[in-house]
Amino acid sequence: MFRVSLDNDNKDLILGYISRSIRKNHI
């Protein structure tokens, strides 16, 4: 899988990626 470090930047990147995946699934 991939490593996740508790950094604000990483959190934003992960949240953004998840939101994109959700959008793709819904559209």
Note the pLDDT tens digit of each residue in 1-27: 456 555 667 788 888 899 999 888 775
What is the model's pTM? Answer: 0.47
Q: What is the pLDDT of residue 1?
A: 47
Q: What is the pLDDT of residue 27?
A: 58
Q: What is the distance between the alpha carbons of residues 7 and 19, in angstroms, rounded to a whole number?
A: 18
Give the ranges where the chain is alpha helix by DSSP (H).
8-26
Q: List the chain domain ranges.
A: 1-26
Q: What is the pLDDT of residue 2?
A: 56
